[in-house]
Chain A
Amino acid sequence: MNRMKLSVKLIAGFLSVAAIAAVIGMVGIYYINQITVADRQLYELDTVPIAKMGAIDTHFQEVRVLYRDFIAQKDEAKRKGYMDKVQELRAANNEAIKFLEPTMTGPDEKKLLDDMKGGLAAYRQAMDKVSSAVAAGKPEEANRVMAEEGAVAAHQLDEVIGKLVDMHIKDAEESARHNQSMAKMAITISIVLTIVGVLLAAGLGIFLTLMITRPVNRIVEGMTEGADQVAAASSQVSASSQHLAEGASEQASSLEETSASLEELSSMSKQNADNAGQAKAMMGEAKTVVDKANRQMSDLIEAIGEITRSSEETGKIIKTIDEIAFQTNLLALNAAVEAARAGEAGAGFAVVADEVRNLALRSAEAAKNTSNLIEKTIKAVHNGNQLTTATQEAFKANAEISGKVNQLVDEIATASEEQAHGVDQINTAVAEMDKVTQRTAANAEESASASEELNAQAMQMRGFVEELMAVVGGSGAASSSSPLVQAAAPAPRRRAAGDVARKPVIKALPPAGNKKRPKEVIPFGKDEEFKDF
C-alpha cells in the first residue's frame, strides 16, 4: 500500500466511500421498493376488491329495485327499458366478478366468491321466474317469487359480500401491519448501514490521511534539512570560493613575482652561457698555453738529456783524467822507488818524483772534485729529469683536466643556453598560469555569487517546504526557521568587474511567504482531526 501512488490511494479511498454510500443507497432503495410493492398489493388485492364488491352490492340492489319497478310497471316499453338496465347492471357485475377472480388468493376467498357467484345465479334464476311470471301476466306470482326466492338469494348474497368485504379489510389490515414492520426494519437497517458507512469512511479517511501525511511530513523534514544543508553548504562554498578568489589573486601576484624572478634568472642564465663561452675560449687559450708548455717541457727534457749525456761524457773524461792521474801517481811512486834504489844519486829525482806525485794527487783530487761535481750535476740533472717528467706528467694531467674542463665548460655553456631556453618556456608557462589564475579568480568569484544565489534558492526552497509543511501539518507546524539559513543568507555579494550581471532567479519566483492558507490548497475538513498528524 505504501508503494501505491498518491492518486491511486486517494481514488481507492474515495471509491471505497462511494461504494459504502452505494451499498447504503441500494439497501434503502431495495426496502423502499419492497414497501412500494407491498403497498400496491394492499391496494390491488384488498382495497380495489372491496370497492368492487361494494359496486356489485350496489348493482345488485339496483337490480332488485329495477325488478320491483318492473313488476309494478304496466307499460311494456318501460318494462323493456328496465330489463335493459338490468342486463347492463348484470354485465357490470359479471365484469366486476371477473375482475375479482384473480384477486382472490386464499381458498376461503375463492369459496366465498363461488358462493357469491352462486347467490347471483340463484337470484338471476329467481328473477328470470319473475320475468316470466310478469310476462305471463301474473304479478302476484312475480311478487311472491320476488318476496320469497328473491329475498332469500338477496340475503345470501348480502351475507357473502359482507363476509368477503370483512375478509378483505382484515387482509388489508394485515398487509398494512406487515408493511409497517418492513418499513421499520428498513429504517433500522439503513441506520445501521449509515453508521457503519460513516465509521468506515471516517476510518478510511484517517487511514488515507495518515498514509499521505506521514511520508509527506518525512519529505518535508528531509527537504527542510536538505534546504538547510544546501544553504549552509552554499554559504561554505561561497566562503571557500571567496577564499579561492583571494588565493587566486595572491597566486597571481606571486606569479608576477615569479615571472620577474624568472626573467632575472633567464638573463642570468644567458650571462652564464656567455661567461661559459668566454671560459671556453679561455680554456682553449689555456690549452694552447699548456700544449706549448708541454712542448717546451719536452724540449727541456731533451736539453736535460743532452746535459746528462754531456755530463756523462765529461765524467768519462774526468775518469780518464783520474786514470791518468792514477797512472801518473803510480809512475811517480815507481820513480820514487827507483830514486830510493839509486840512493843518494836519486835524491833529486826523488824530489821530482814526489812533486810529480803531488801533481798527480792534485790532479786526482781535482778530478775527484770534478767527478763529484759532475756526479752531483748528474744527480741534479736526474732529479731535474724526474721533476721534469713529473712536471710533464702534471702538464699532461693539466692538459687532460683542461680538456675535461673545456668539455665541462662547453657542457655548462650548452646547459646554460638550454636553461635560458627552458626559463623562457617557463616564463611562457607562468604567463599562461597567470592567465589561468586570473580566470580561476574570476570563476571563483562567479562561483561565490552563484553559491550565494544557491543559498537564496535554498532559502526559497525552505519557504516552499514551509508552505508544504503548512499544507500537510497546518499553520502551526510551519513557523520554525533555521537560524543557520538566516545566518548564511545575508552573505555579501561580490562580483568581478567583468562578471556578467546575472538576474537573481529568486525574483522570477513568487515570494516564499505568500499568504496562501493550507486549507485553501487542500481542504482537509476539520483541522482538529489532523493536528495530531
Chain B
Amino acid sequence: MEAMVTVAREGKYLTFSLAGEEYGIGILKVKEIIGMMTITRIPQAPPDMRGVINLRGKVIPVVDLRLRFGLEEGQYTEKTCIIVVEVARAGAKQQIGIIVDSVSEVLNIRGGDIENTPDFGSRLDTRFILGLAKLGSGVKILLDIDRVLGNEDFSAQIPTEEQGNRDIEKEMGI
C-alpha cells in the first residue's frame, strides 16, 4: 500500500510559492500558467472566490489560494500568476484558476523523496495534502488540488492552517 502510494505520487510537479512556502501540484492537473489578469468579481461569491477571468474566450473562476487556505491576503505583484488547473467536480472536469504568489518550476520528484503527511490529530483534515516532498533542506507541500478545490469547505475545518504549518515545521526540526 505504502509503495503503491509512493509510486503513484512520483512524477512531475509544478511548484509555486505561497506565503513563503513552496507547494507542488501534479503537472498533469495543470492546464496552463498565465500571468495576472483582470478578474471580474462575482457577487455573493465566497471570499476566496475572487471572480472570473476571460481566458481566450473561456470564462474561468479564479480562487485565491491564500484565502482558500485561510492565510493572510497578499498583494498581487508582477510575479503573481494564475495557474489554470483541471479538476474533477461533480463528475465533470472543470478548469479553475488559482492565484499563487509566484510560479517556480517543473520538478521531477522521486517517490523516495515524498513522505506522508504526519497525523496532526483528528481535528486536522490533511486529506488535501498528497505528501511532503523533501528537496534539499526544504519541504514542498504537494497538494491534491481536486480536494483543495473540492466542494467541501475545509477552510472552516482548518482555521489555523498557518499554525498547523508551523507545527509541522516544529515537528520536522526546522
A298-331, CB < 8 A from B: 322-323, 326-327, 329-330
Shortest distance between the CB of B60 and any CB in chain A (Å):
15
**B27 engages A323 (CB within 8 Å):** no
Bound state CA distance, A340 and B28, in angstroms? 7
- Which chain B residues border A330 with CB–CB below 8 Å? 33-35, 81, 103
Q: Name the prevailing secondary structure of the B interface residues.
A: strand
Given A330-B34, A330-B103, A357-B105, A337:B14 Cβ within 8 A: yes
- A87 at the B interface (CB under 8 A): no
Among A329, A341, A353, max chain B CB count under 10 A is at A329
Is B67 interfacial (CB-CB < 8 Å)?
no
The complex places the Cα of A330 from the Cα of B30 at a distance, in Å, of 13
Q: Is the CB of B27 within 8 A of A337?
A: yes
Whether A326 pairs with B27 at a CB distance below 8 angstroms is: no
Chain B residues whose C-beta falls within 8 Å of the C-beta of A354 in the assembled complex: 106
Tell me whether A337 and B106 are in contact in the complex, defined as CB-CB below 8 angstroms, given that A326-B78, A326-B79 are known contacts. Answer: yes
Contacts of B12 in A (CB 8 A): 336, 340
Question: In the complex, A144→B83 CA distance in Å?
Answer: 248
Collect the chain A residues with CB atoms within 8 Å of residue B162's CB.
none
Asked whether, in the complex, the Cβ of A333 is within 8 Å of the Cβ of B33, the reply is yes
Asked if A132 lies at the interface with its beta carbon under 8 angstroms from chain B, I say no
Q: Is the CB of B35 within 8 A of A326?
A: yes
Give min CB distance, B23 to chain A, whole Å. Answer: 15
Given A327-B35, A330-B35, A337 and B30 contact (CB-CB distance below 8 Å): yes
Residues from chain A with a CB closer than 8 A to the CB of B146 are none
Nearest B residue to A329 via CB reads: B103
Give the interface centre of B27, B34, B106 by most chain A CB atoms within 10 Å.
B106
B contact residues around A94 at 8 Å (CB) = none
Determine whether the beta carbon of A333 is less than 8 Å from that of B35: no
B27 — which chain A residues lie within 8 A by C-beta? 336-337, 340-341
Majority SS at the chain A contact face: helix
How long is the Cα–Cα vector from A374 to B7 in the complex, in angstroms? Answer: 48
Q: A327-B35, A340-B28, A340-B106 are in contact. Are A333 and B79 (CB under 8 A)?
A: no
A334 at the interface (CB under 8 A from B): yes
Mask, B121-147, CB within 8 Å of A = 1, is 000000000000000000000000000
Residues of A within 8 A of B153 (CB): none
Task: Say yes or no: is B113 at the interface (Cβ < 8 Å to chain A).
Answer: no
Pick from A322, A323, A334, A341: contact of B33, CB under 8 Å: A334
The answer to whether B78 touches A333 (Cβ under 8 A) is: no
Q: How long is the Cα–Cα vector from A229 to B30 in the complex, in angstroms?
A: 140
Collect the chain B residues with CB atoms within 8 Å of residue A322's CB: 78
| Residues 259-296 (chain A) with a chain B CB within 8 angstroms | none
Taking the closest CB of chain A, its distance from the CB of B142, in whole angstroms, is 15
> B78 to A337, Cβ gap below 8 A?
no
Residue of A whose beta carbon sits closest to that of B27: A340
A459–B34 CA distance with the chains assembled, in angstroms: 140
Residue of A nearest to B30 (CB): A337
Cα distance, A341 to B28, chains bound together (Å) = 6
> Known contacts A326-B78, A327-B35, A340-B106: does B14 contact A333 (CB below 8 Å)?
yes
Other-chain contact of A337, B33, B35, B79, B81 (Cβ < 8 Å): B33
Contacts of B14 in A (CB 8 A): 333, 337
Residue of A nearest to B12 (CB): A340
CB contacts under 8 Å to A, within B53-108, are 78-79, 81, 103, 105-106
Measured between beta carbons, the chain B residues less than 8 angstroms from A357 are 105-106
A337 CA to B15 CA in the complex, in Å?
A: 12
CB distance from B143 to the nearest CB of A (A): 16
Report A-chain residues with C-beta under 8 Å of the C-beta of B78. Answer: 322-323, 326
**Shortest Cβ distance from B16 into A: residue:** A333
User: Hey, which chain A residues are within 8 Å of B81, CB to CB?
Assistant: 330
Complexed CA–CA distance, A327 and B31 (Å): 16
- When each residue 1-33 of chain B gets 1 if its CB lies under 8 Å from chain A and 0 otherwise, what string results? 000000000001010000000000001101111
Find the A residue at minimum CB distance from B26. A340
**Contacting pair A337 B105 (CB below 8 A):** no
**Docked pose: A454 CA to B30 CA in angstroms:** 141
Interfacial residues of chain A within 497-520, with CB under 8 A of chain B in the complex: none
Q: Smallest Cβ distance from A359 to chain B, in angstroms?
A: 13
What are 12 residue pairs bridging A and B, where the CB atoms are less than 8 Å apart in the complex?
A: A326-B35, A329-B103, A330-B81, A330-B103, A333-B103, A334-B33, A336-B106, A337-B14, A337-B106, A340-B28, A341-B28, A357-B106
B residues touching A (Cβ–Cβ < 8 Å)? 12, 14, 27-28, 30-35, 78-79, 81, 103, 105-106
Instruction: Beyond A330-B34, A336-B27, A357-B105, list 5 extra A-B contacts (CB 8 Å).
Output: A326-B78, A330-B81, A333-B105, A333-B106, A336-B106
